Structure 1
Amino acid sequence: MAASEKQVVVVGVDESDYGVHALEWTIDHLFAPSMPDYPFKLIVVHARPSAASTAGLVGPGAAEVFPIVDADLKRSAARLVQKAKDLCASKSVHDVTIEVVEGDARNVLCDAVQKHNASILVVGSHGYGAIKRAVLGSVSDYCAHHAHCTVMIVKKPKAKH
């Protein structure tokens, strides 16, 4: 690798506090202010679900609902992109690429790793138990087994009572 070529870090974010925490952890640990010339290029990826997968409607009236659901998903993604930009700016990380890709998070993140030839994929952990993970699936578990790079699963510390 050439000296000027930076390794790529892809961070998967979603609307949850866990995804945002993963981004914050990455910035705090890999983009420290004491290193003015970061050795990494940061790419933040949000997998936006499709209107069809979110609405899950079949039958009459579905065609009228999809545009409303799609517009809401786009607004939600725009809010998340702004939140990621604000977080990066607040920590003086300005060389960041943010991508919103429609699709299942598992596939979107693994595809982003391939597309950008990433060295590290960082994802948050929702902390689901075995039953919820079996029913809902685990993006972090899937990526740990299928992404062709190192996968860092960041857990958000539990709040102290």
Structure 2
Amino acid sequence: MASCCAKKVPEREKQVMVVGVDDSEYSTYALEWTLDHLITPSPTPIFKLVVVFAKPSVTSAVGIIGPVVGAPEVFPMVEADIKRTAARVTEQAKQLCINKSVNDAIVEVVEGDPRNVLCEAVEKHHASVLVVGSHGYGAIKRAVLGSVSDYCAHHAHCTVMIVKKPKTKH
């Protein structure tokens, strides 16, 4: 005897994959690789894609170049440049997703240090995977600049995939 009030089984909720992007060819490659290998090959992908750009604060960006005489006058120019970069990077990320028929990707711009921003995005979205590109820095540069991928591998509460761009042969 069939029940007139049978419960509909809820569709399995997609896992979340966060991809960190910046204005480098390495993060663009990581996003492209993710779209090509993990998101679009399946007609029913298991991941919901969240693309995150960590926007530096004006004070941290000015601090990188050192003390600037008349720094307050420089802030608006730096802020405008940061906004342009964020818009360009996120538009490029959206376009890459659309080109691969991923129309439901979430693209976020969050102010802060990329290491913290990405780990916080993992927590916020309950991500099961974080994808970051590798700049391929050597030990000295990594020690001075800090490695976002290394930090995330040790601090993100999920699987971290570090995508390396193949070296071009000359």
User: Could you tell me the percent identity over the aligned residues?
Assistant: 69
Secondary structure, aligned partner of 1:122: strand
Residue 36 of structure 1, CA deviation: 2.0
Secondary structure, aligned partner of 1:18: helix
Please, which of 17, 35, 47 is the counterpart of residue 40 of structure 1?
47
Residue 154 of structure 2 is matched in structure 1 by 145
Residue 63 of structure 1, CA deviation: 1.3
Structure 2: segments with no counterpart, 5+ residues: 1-9
Paired residues in the alignment total: 159
Residue 145 of structure 1, CA deviation: 0.1
AA aligned to 2:21 is V
Residue 136 of structure 1 is matched in structure 2 by 145
AA aligned to 1:53 is S
AA aligned to 1:123 is V
AA aligned to 2:44 is D
Residue 60 of structure 1, CA deviation: 5.5
Match status 1:14 vs 2:31? no
Query: Quick one: distance in 1 between partners of 2:31 and 2:68?
Result: 40
TM-score scaled by length of structure 2:
0.89
Q: Answer whether contact 2:17 2:130 (CA < 8 A) is retained.
A: yes
Superposition CA RMSD, Å: 1.3
Match status 1:80 vs 2:89? yes
TM-score scaled by length of structure 1:
0.94
Runs of 4+ in 1 over 6 A off after TM superposition: none
Secondary structure, aligned partner of 1:151: strand
Larger Rg: 2
Query: Quick one: distance in 1 between partners of 2:96 and 2:18?
Result: 16
Query: Quick one: distance in 2 between partners of 1:125 and 1:143?
Result: 12
Residue 55 of structure 1 is matched in structure 2 by 62
